[in-house]
Structure 1
Amino acid sequence: MQYQSLFCFKGLDNGVRFAVISASVYFTLLLGFVLFGQSAVLLVLGCLLAPVLGLSAYRRIRDVARPNWYAGLVLIPLFLFSITLVYATSLTLSVIIFIIAVLLSLFFAKLSPVGKVKSYHQGYVGPAVIPASRVNLRRVEPSLGSHGGVSDGDVYSAEETRASEGVIEEENNQWQTSSRQGFANSMALRQWRNWAKHNQKLLLSVAAGLVVLVLIGGLLEALPSDDEPTSELAQGASEQVSASIREEAKIPDGFSVLLENDVLIISWLGEEGAEGEIWSLASAQGDSSCANLSFNDGSNYRPMLVKYMPDTSIEARFSPLDTQGIISDIAMRGSIKLCGYDFSLKGSQSALSKNAAFIPYL
């Protein structure tokens, strides 16, 4: 393949050449993904590959005589594929865009050329083709005839010899000139130079856009590391929310038994008081009447903490080690006493059985 023809504006590409160029572009992009991972480098690589694919599509569109703007269609999946390789968390989206790109490339490759039959050189027709053959004229040496003379049919005259040599030299000069012109035209040096002169603002905008893409890519790559503590905090908050879910059984005598992750809580409405701690086992300070939960059979359990709640209720929290025993006693005993309040346990077993969370403890 003549690589200078990849940047030619004037030539034509057949379907096979366009398909090969398209496949090479996406293969290069995937290779960059393997080497660099989800990096902003892929955005720059995609921008560098875009002219190769876009110009090939432009030559292909000219070959099939379709509107030139069709060539821009192949660039849309290329840029989207580059972006999804960098930023997409799921590979599914990248695969879908890749399939769309393959189907679009096959559609362009299958289009039939319009016009007279063209002689493609490696799938390309245009000024970048370098002549591979020269006109070779073989000089025939004179030979002696049977009579000691020279054969008239096999001998070149001096003028003919010089003329043939002149033809060869002229062919060489023409080939060298056409080679230089073909290279200059295939590289489109004049077109690129003139275009750049008249579109300096556009070039600066493209360069600035590439810089912005790289900066945004670097910033987005740095964000996940910053989000990890946030996600951990969110996970901890969700765990706390799930931990605060309570299972409740309302006892007929006006108090409730609650379960909060194996922690037993007894709650009832007491006299109005200031929100805060009433009794604490850790400090052994507070209202001593709250130091024991007493059943009518004489069994006792020490609450870990007793306090007034914002809704004027009183809550007594117990150790998870006592949960099994307290629930069993509430179901089986006749009454309890705590903080100077006496409660009847009549109907407590039925109330506990209505909530499936308490059944394993009965």
Structure 2
Amino acid sequence: MSVKTLLCRDGRDTGLRLMGVMFAAFLLLTVAAIVFPASVINWIVTLALLPMVGLSAVRRLNDANKSIKLAMICVVPVLAFGILTYFVAPLGALAGVFLFGLACGGYLAFLPAKNTINYVQGYYGPSMVPVSISGSVYHRQEPVMKGQVMPVHEKTENTFSSIELADEVVL
């Protein structure tokens, strides 16, 4: 998953990708809260994650052909979790917001898509990474010493149409 596709407004996401982004956001906020308790870094991490979660929810709602206003269902729990980690809320409150946020993401994840398309890593849109075809890779041709004959079972794949130069130039 590339960062370019995380920050794209156009396109579509699968439900599984939305859940992955939501879970990663909550996990990163949890790690930031454990390492830096009651720190400004929690605010910075929260503000950095909000656009990624919001845009992923918007892409998922585009895929499900629903109103974009429903993206707040995913953004508000992440914001609440970030605020609670800054104020060092009790573990029960954090766990409740964490599970509520995952449930909200799950609601959007299970919305049916308007039509079937081929996703690449759960994303379809203008920032897609092209899929490589396994047959399009050229194999390296091993060098041979002068006078050696290539074994019969190996086929050379020379795509160049140049004349081989001899070692000695005859005038």
Question: TM-score, length-normalised on structure 2?
Answer: 0.73
1:27 aligned residue: 27
Q: Which amino acid aligns with 1:64?
A: A
1:66 aligned residue: 66
Q: Distance in 2 between matches of 1:34 and 1:85?
A: 9
Alpha-carbon offset, residue 38 of structure 1:
2.2
Q: Distance in 2 between matches of 1:122 and 1:131?
A: 11
Q: Which amino acid aligns with 1:131?
A: P
Residue 130 of structure 1 pairs with residue 137 of structure 2: no
Q: What is the CA RMSD across the aligned residues, in angstroms? A: 1.7
C-alpha spacing 1:69/1:41, structure 2 compared with 1 (3 Å): same
Residue 8 of structure 1 pairs with residue 39 of structure 2: no
After superposition, the C-alpha distances for 1:112-170 in whole angstroms (9 at most, x for unaligned) are: 1013x10011111011113234796xxxxxxxxxxxxxxxxxxxxxxxxxxxxxxxxxx
After superposition, the C-alpha distances for 1:309-338 in whole angstroms (9 at most, x for unaligned) are: xxxxxxxxxxxxxxxxxxxxxxxxxxxxxx
C-alpha spacing 1:91/1:17, structure 2 compared with 1 (3 Å): same
C-alpha spacing 1:89/1:19, structure 2 compared with 1 (3 Å): closer
8 Å contact 2:12–2:123 — kept in the other structure? yes
The gaps in structure 1 that reach 5 residues or longer are 137-362
Q: Distance in 1 between matches of 2:132 and 2:103?
A: 38
8 Å contact 2:77–2:101 — kept in the other structure? yes
1:114 aligned residue: 114
8 Å contact 2:64–2:114 — kept in the other structure? yes
8 Å contact 2:37–2:88 — kept in the other structure? no
8 Å contact 1:2–1:128 — kept in the other structure? no
Alpha-carbon offset, residue 89 of structure 1:
4.4
Alpha-carbon offset, residue 88 of structure 1:
4.4
Question: TM-score, length-normalised on structure 1?
Answer: 0.36
8 Å contact 2:120–2:129 — kept in the other structure? no
Q: Distance in 2 between matches of 1:44 and 1:2?
A: 21
C-alpha spacing 1:112/1:98, structure 2 compared with 1 (3 Å): same
8 Å contact 2:73–2:105 — kept in the other structure? no
| Count, aligned residues | 135
Name the SS of the counterpart of 1:121 in structure 2: coil
Name the SS of the counterpart of 1:17 in structure 2: helix
Q: Which structure: greater strand fraction?
A: 1
Q: Distance in 1 between matches of 2:85 and 2:128?
A: 37
Q: Distance in 1 between matches of 2:33 and 2:89?
A: 14
The gaps in structure 2 that reach 5 residues or longer are 137-171
Alpha-carbon offset, residue 102 of structure 1:
1.2
8 Å contact 1:14–1:109 — kept in the other structure? yes
List, as ranges, runs of 4+ consecutive aligned residues in structure 1 with deviation greater than 6 Å.
Answer: none
2:46 aligned residue: 46
Alpha-carbon offset, residue 3 of structure 1:
2.5
